[in-house]
Amino acid sequence: MLSVARVARYSTVGDMEDQAVHRARPSWTVPSELQDIRLDSFIRGCLPHLARREIERALRARLFVVGGKMGRKGDRLRAGDVVFFTGPEWWLAPHPMPDFGLQIPVVYEDGSILALNKPAGIPTHGFSARDTRTLANFLIARWPDLAQVGKSRWEPGLVHRLDTETSGLVLVAKTQAAFDRIKIQFQRGQIRKQYLALVWGETPAHGSIRLPLTHDPRDERRMRIVPADGVTKKGKSWPALTRFRTRGVAAGFSLLDVQMTSGVTHQIRVHLAAIGHPIVGDSLYGRERERAFGLERQFLHAS
């Protein structure tokens, strides 16, 4: 990986097309050993904390300039070329921007972990510095040191996630040692995830759903059950087991206690929909047009 310290400079941009005002902007100079490198590869080396898709998005938005021309990802660079960044400075941030106005209830805190009660409608995290109003933005505002904890800069201390429209408990590690320990416990199934769900239809007293999941090739937002022929998108699938116990049944609905040890994306939502009992309010896997009890969100809560 190219070291930013070796190539990053701040200088005044001059003679740029569409640049009426000269002012200081971030820039990086191509060293001789990187002669003929592609622009997108050079930027990834200079800004390793940014996801590939964010860099590609910035290039499509024409936020990088080389030799007075807007750069394209396949452009080849020469030694001595200067790459200027013309977008907002916050875009280069190595972690989520703090959101001091967002308030998330803290259920538990000690020296190693946090437990937060995430409201429905709040994403657990974003994917770039542009994303705001997420749990990650709240965490950075209140505990800035969390920027150094975890596997991804956009997920400070987060050892797991909840869907945006799912409410409930989210665990956060305050130290890297705690993060590594909790992740191992999740992988070994030593931490059980328990949820409360309201579903359509009358469910049996209890049940288990063991169906592997894969990405839906027709809709990148969705997961689906691995088809009978076993063909999956890019050959990827994940085993998944969901158990439920029915608390009560009334008026064509069932209230369930749901447990899972695996943590596949949308697992509970897909599994319950697969057995004919989609979660009430789930517009992606359930009955999109029906909003029972005036709910404006899916009735799934991590407890």
CA dist 110 and 172 (Å) reads 11
| 86 and 19 Cβ atoms separated by less than 8 Å | yes
216 classed as catalytic: no
List, as one string, the DSSP characters of 3-66.
Answer: -HHHHEEEEE--S-TT--S--EEEEEEPPGGGTT-BHHHHHHHH-TTS-HHHHHHHHHTT-EEE
| 172 and 157 Cβ atoms separated by less than 8 Å | yes
Nearest to 262 by CA among 197, 211, 198, 204: 211
Query: How many Cβ atoms from other residues are within 10 Å of residue 260's Cβ?
Result: 20
Strand order in the sheet with 106-109: 106-109, 113-118, 167-173, 300-302, 193-200, 253-260, 241-250, 206-210
Nearest to 166 by CA among 200, 121, 198: 121
Instruction: Retrieve residue 71's tokens.
Output: 């750069």
| 99 and 80 Cβ atoms separated by less than 8 Å | no
C-alpha torsion sign, points 260, 266, 269, 271: negative
Catalytic choice (163, 180, 216, 219): 163
Segment 232-238 long-range contacts (CB within 8 Å, at least 24 positions apart): 237/212, 237/213, 238/212, 238/213, 238/214, 238/262, 238/264
Non-local CB neighbours of 221 within 8 Å, separated by 6+ positions: 284
Q: Give the active site residues.
A: 163
